[in-house]
Structures are given as C-alpha cells and as structure tokens.
Chain A
Amino acid sequence: MKKYRNDIILIVSILIISLIVLLVINLNKKNDNLKAIIYYKDEIVLTIDLSTLGENEKEYIINGDLGIIKLGAKYNSIRVIESTCLNHTCEHQNYISNTASVIVCLPNLIYIKLVSNNIDLDVVI
C-alpha cells in the first residue's frame, strides 16, 4: 500500500476538490423564474422566458454551424430534441432546469445557458 501512497493522495485530492466545486455550484443554483439564453459562439440568437411557458413542450428551431437544432422548452426547463451533430451528446443530456446546468452542442457552436429572472435582494443601488 505504501507504494501507492502518492496515487491515493492524488485520487483523494481530485475527488475532494471536484466534490467541493460541485457543491458550491449546486448551492448557488436557482430553479425558478428561469430564462434560457441560446448562444451561437458569443452572440445571443434566442432568448426564451421559461417561467411564462406551460407544462406542454413548445418547439423552437435555431441554426447552428452544421444545420438546424430543434429545441423543446416547457415551464422552467429546456432540452435539445434533435440536432444535426455527429454524437448527439446534447440530445442525450435531456432537460436542464437550473442555473448550474448548460447544454453545449460543440459541433454546431451552440450553447444554452439558464439565468434566473429573480432580482437579488442584497444588491446595493
């Protein structure tokens, strides 16, 4: 076991650091009053106010680098229904419904970010 001491220290430190980062991300996430912002590279192509939608999924179509991407949005959640990329990783990610999650479709250079419409009360004006 002594032979692997450094390896064990490495594994434990990676796991601890990753879990702390995940915890911090999850503590700061917001689940309500969400707005989805869809970017192509760094420009906004579409903004959807998810808090005004109902439980029935509404479809949106945007253009990426490889072709069209079909998005499905409902109350406070959004997903990629269909994409023209090779791996379809973005489709498998399914719905995201908090500000700590993003959907990235890299071959199409498209990413979806959720932001909360809630105004922080501790802001000094």
Chain B
Amino acid sequence: MSIKKICIISSLLAIAIVLNIIESSIPMFIPGVKLGLANIVVLIMLYEFNLKEAFLVMILRIILVGLLRGNIFQLQWFMSLSGGILSFIIMLLFSKIKFFSPIGVSILGAIFHCIGQIIIAIIMLSTAVVIYYLPFIAILSTLTGILNGIIVKTYLKHSITKKIFIK
C-alpha cells in the first residue's frame, strides 16, 4: 500500500470516526435512533476502494470509537460490531451485483446494521421479544438509508475522493 493511499484511507477513517461521534449529539426526537452517518464512509470505500481497505476502515472505526467512548468490549460495543459486520457483508454483496443504486445499498446496510444489533440483543436477553422493534426499525432505517444513500451518490458522482486527495 502506497503512502498516499494510507493517507487517503486514514483521512476517511478520521471522517468516519468524527461522523460517528457527532451524530449522537444530533437530536432525533425518537429515543435510540441515530442517522448512521459513519456508514456513508464505508459505502464510499466499497465503491471506490477494494474490499480489504473498506473492511479495515469499518473495523478500525468501531474499535477506535469504542476506545474514545470508553465502551469497548461492553454490550453496546458488541452490538455495534455485530451490526457493522452484518451491514458490511450485505452492502459489499449488493454494491458488487449492482442491482440497486447506492441509495438501495445504503437502505439495506442500515436495516441489516439494526438486525445485527437485534441478534446480539436476542442472545443477551435469551428472548426474541426485541423483534417487536423490527418493523419500526425497518421504517426508520429506510428513511436514514435514503438520506445517506443520496449523500454517497452525490459524493461518487462528483468523484470527490479524486478531486481532494489525488490531485
């Protein structure tokens, strides 16, 4: 990996971490709901970089945010990890088969991020009662997924990575 590429990936990782941290201060009016802005960076990486680099950013973002928040290896962190990995697999799959535009891929990523978290909740509580939240989560994830998808689509359309980093 060239130094230039390491710098680009590190910058994108830093953006993902900052987005992850600032989104918790954005009021959403519904308890527990977040915009999932860090997903924007992972999705951009899936379209513009290779699998290894995208995975690196996703996993490092979760570990570093866990360290910054001080909740690493706690329940909330494991939920974030499980959601992150599941949504990454789904977004990887659908970004490669090109059946949906980045908006559709972003929606699926948002929904599967929540499904990953629900799986951990089911394991921890030993009950499927949390599935009750799934229809609400699916509707809200669709809305946040559309927003993130539009941002990703605009970013990719204007080739911002090339303009800013590879000038």
Binding site for B on A (CB under 8 A): 3-4, 6-7, 10-11, 14-15, 17-19, 21-22, 25, 39, 41-42, 86-89, 92-93, 100-102, 104, 106-107, 109, 111, 113
- CB < 8 Å: which of A7, A10, A92, A104 contacts B125? A104
B100: Cβ under 8 A from any A Cβ: yes
Q: Determine whether the beta carbon of A18 is less than 8 Å from that of B125.
A: no
B104: Cβ under 8 A from any A Cβ: yes
Q: How far is the CB of B139 from chain A (nearest CB, A)?
A: 5
Q: Which residues from B are CB-within-8-Å of A7?
A: 100-101, 103-104, 107, 149
- CB < 8 Å: which of B103, B121, B134 contacts A106? B121
**A104 and B121 in contact (CB under 8 A), knowing A86-B76, A87-B32, A93-B31?**
yes
Q: How far is the CB of B165 from chain A (nearest CB, A)?
A: 27
**Interface size class of chain B, counting residues whose CB lies under 8 Å from the partner chain:** 20 to 34
Q: Closest 4 CB pairs between A and B?
A: A92-B31, A7-B104, A18-B135, A42-B126
Q: Determine whether the beta carbon of B104 is less than 8 Å from that of A14.
A: no
Q: How far is the CB of A95 from chain B (nearest CB, A)?
A: 14
The SS class assigned to the A binding surface is helix
Q: Determine whether the beta carbon of B135 is less than 8 Å from that of A22.
A: yes
- Bound complex: CA of A13 vs CA of B24, how far in Å? 29
* Smallest CB gap from A92: residue in B: B31
- Bound complex: CA of A92 vs CA of B30, how far in Å? 9
Q: How far is the CB of A57 from chain B (nearest CB, A)?
A: 20
Q: Determine whether the beta carbon of A4 is less than 8 Å from that of B101.
A: yes
Contact with A along B99-134 (1 / 0, CB 8 A): 111011001100100000000010011110110111
